[in-house]
A and B are shown apart, each in its own frame.
Chain A
Amino acid sequence: MIEAKGLRKYFGAHRAVEDVSFVARDGQITGLLGPNGAGKTTTLRMLYTLVRPDAGEILIDGRNAQLEPLTVRRSLGALPDARGLYKRLSARENIEYFAALHGLSRQEARSRSDALIDTLSMQDIASRRTEGFSQGERVKTAIARALVHDPRNVLLDEPTNGLDVTSTRNLREFLRALRASGRCVLLSTHLMQEVAALCDRIVIIAQGSVVADGSADELRASSGEKHLEDAFVKLIGAAAMGGDS
């Protein structure tokens, strides 16, 4: 479970995140929805302890991320926006490198990689060097290495960016399987269809603050709009006006 309480992060004069609070529960897929530049990536970076919040608190499975970053990272698997691979290593070697960094033994690393290669249907690319991989192959490898330690909490920054229809579909299937196994899945996206198709709970961020939080039905009800997209536009529009005044 991931709990964000009153997160704030400024980079100099730039107010990346103003006030973000929400809870992402186990066995659910939570979507962080917002337009470009709303603060989604910075929020995720704070959650996976890459940057320190200026204010607020992060609890991962009840543990404070600022106080125990290394412990918290063990229970987190994160797919950042940057998903560069080592091109002179094979896909499997890329995955096993991260397994070693997580302190997994050789056998554990091998069996976990095998399982992920199987689940993500990467058998045909596993022993190929990653140079020249397609976008879909690259994302699969990046996800496999992020989840090689079998974390309870999974964070993904715009996971379907640049993927074709088939890859997107497979990825959604994979995320649903994670949910079914009781994992806490949190993903950020600027795509309506993504949250509509996938998420149990939607947190809408605009201009660094949470403007709405609930299931798709709740959001439609609270905004008085029939379609989720209209609800989204209305909610972030209200935030923009609020920010201007």
Chain B
Amino acid sequence: MSPVLAVYIKECKESLRDKRVLINSLLLGPLIGPLLFLLMMHLVVGRELEKAEQPMQVVVIGAERAPELLDALRQQGVQALPPIADAKLAVREQRIDLALRILPDFGAAWRAGRPAQVELIYDSSRREAQGDAVRLRVLLENYSRRNGALRLLARGLSPTIATPLVIATLDTATAQARGALLFAMLPYMLMLTIFIGGLWLAIDSTAGERERHSLEPLLINPVPRDRIVLGKMLATASFSLASLVLGLSAFLMVSRYMPTAELGSSLALGPQFFALALPMLLPMVLLIAITQIFIAAFARSVREAQTYLGLAQLVPLIPSIALSVLPVKAQLWMYAVPLLGQQLAIMRWLRAESVAAVPVALSTSSTLLAAILMFLFTRRVYDSERQAIAD
């Protein structure tokens, strides 16, 4: 038996007997992504839907000064709440989301045909208040335009005079693309699944081996150190892969219960996505496995390794956040960056778009290259005397 295989079999055997590893690799790792995701989707989607359908509640100050305006708003689903003392303060203190103040001279100005003023009081830094404010503003502008047109007609002028420009909007976002915005986090969830899948094995077979004083006896065997590292890496990668396959399957199942249809968007999260994403992520599985082993090899104890790796698993968040904050156009070179390349391809596949062979090949080869470099670094660490005798 080759020493690589011997190490591989032993690490797998030992891990399969460890409840901690099983729970992490085969339960927590695969399920954390889909569950988090489902929760997030329901929270976001549920709130948007709630907002759109519910009558909007607005505190109105001076409602008696503009009964016609209030009638018009009521017809559009605005529910006027009784006035309160200091509306500005109430908004600032977040007791209310939105207030509409009709100024005292509203009636006089309206009857005289002068611009009559209303005030919209809201906090633009609060997301949930902003949607309502925009909606109310549109309603008020419509009301203003309608009455302006009526006044022009009354003076024998065509209302089109006051409308020199008409803006028609054509939203080119396909149904899938709108949904994919919500799915910007999905690639990270997949990375997390890979990460958690191999986490315990990586820690246990490196820092754990040292902590239990079995590293020195192991290294005395007539086996080159790179074979030992390779065996441990392949064992870690196997558990990561198992976690990824289970995780993708869980996403497939969960995607049926995602409320994407209610948003008027759908996502290509079917078997085809599975078949594309899995091979794309294989080099990533190797890279993450060897990186975990590399990092854990520096730790003197299991606890220390956990701390380091806990921080390391935030790294794949960087491209996810960067891509959702800065909507950059994908350039070819970006596919050569490990993590970023996978993220871009997966987001495209989610939108039912295709990715050309060149970017896929570029991402695969650069990630494999990174894994090989990482392997060489790790071998150097294991070849050092410090590694063997530090205890």
Q: Contact residues of A with B, CB < 8 Å?
A: 45, 48-52, 70-71, 73-74, 76, 78, 80-89, 93, 97-98, 100-103, 105-106, 142, 145-146
18 A-B residue contacts at CB 8 Å?
A: A50-B385, A71-B222, A73-B221, A80-B217, A81-B216, A82-B213, A82-B215, A83-B213, A83-B217, A86-B212, A86-B214, A88-B14, A89-B10, A89-B14, A97-B6, A100-B9, A101-B6, A101-B218
Q: Chain B: interface secondary structure?
A: helix
Chain A residue with Cβ nearest B2:
A103
B391 at interface, CB cutoff 8 A: yes
Contact A145-B6, Cβ < 8 Å, known A70-B224, A101-B223: no
Q: Given the known A-B contacts A51-B389, A87-B212, are A97 and B10 also in contact in the complex, defined by CB atoms under 8 Å?
A: yes
Say how far B390's CB is from chain A's closest CB, in angstroms.
11
Q: Contacts A52-B385, A80-B220 given; 8 further ones with Cβ under 8 A?
A: A50-B220, A80-B217, A82-B214, A83-B217, A101-B218, A101-B223, A105-B1, A146-B217
Give Cα distance in the complex from A93 to B12, angstroms.
Answer: 13
From B231, which residue of chain A is reached at the shortest CB distance?
Answer: A101
Q: A70-B222, A73-B220, A100-B6 are in contact. Are A50 and B389 (CB under 8 A)?
A: yes
Q: How far is the CA of A73 from the CA of B388 in the complex (A)?
A: 15
B216 pairs with A80, CB closer than 8 A: yes
CA A74 to CA B388, docked complex, whole Å: 19
| Residues of B324-338 contacting chain A, CB below 8 A | none
B127 close to A (CB within 8 Å)? no
Residue of B nearest to A155 (CB): B220
Task: Please determine whether A45 and B217 come into contact, CB atoms closer than 8 angstroms.
Answer: no
Measured between beta carbons, the chain B residues less than 8 angstroms from A88 are: 14, 17-18
Which 5 A/B pairs are nearest by Cβ-Cβ distance?
A84-B213, A84-B214, A100-B6, A82-B213, A73-B222
Beta-carbon nearest neighbor of A87 in chain B: B212
Chain A residues contacting B6 (CB-CB under 8 Å) are 97, 100-101
- Chain B residue numbers with a CB within 8 Å of A45 are 389
Q: A51-B389, A80-B217, A101-B3 are in contact. Are A86 and B222 (CB under 8 A)?
A: no
A78 to B213: give the CA distance in the assembly, Å: 14
